[in-house]
Amino acid sequence: MNVEDLDIGDVVYAAKTITDDGSMPDGTEGEILAEAGTRGVITLIGHVEEEPNRSVFLVRFEDKDMNLGNPIGCWVDDLAVEPKFVN
């Protein structure tokens, strides 16, 4: 199964460490948002207006206490269907 086959409510994992690129409201550029291997759930799937064939996944990743964090916009290559610990 590929990330592109997933739907809202499906579990995904951070394929690599995801950091704030400066686009997170009230965030700090460079801040770690999800470590590689962190489990999350897809809450919305959309597309980039300028690139309608490129999917964006809104994902809420778990913190150390297994609480879901704020939604994070992720590209397909940021996500995996099974836990991977690759940076």
* pLDDT tens track for 15-39: 999 999 888 888 889 899 999 999 9
Distances (CA, A) of 11 to 4, 38, 78: 13, 10, 13
* CATH fold group of domain 3-80: SH3 type barrels. (2.30.30)
How far apart are the C-alpha atoms of 18 and 20, rounded to whole Å? 7
Contact 71/44 with Cβ under 8 angstroms? yes
Per-residue pLDDT tens, the chain, 87 aa: give them: 889 889 999 999 999 999 998 888 888 898 999 999 999 999 999 998 888 888 999 999 999 999 999 999 999 999 999 886 545
Helix (H, G, I), strand (E, B) or coil at 74: strand
Distances (CA, A) of 33 to 1, 17, 21, 23: 25, 8, 10, 12
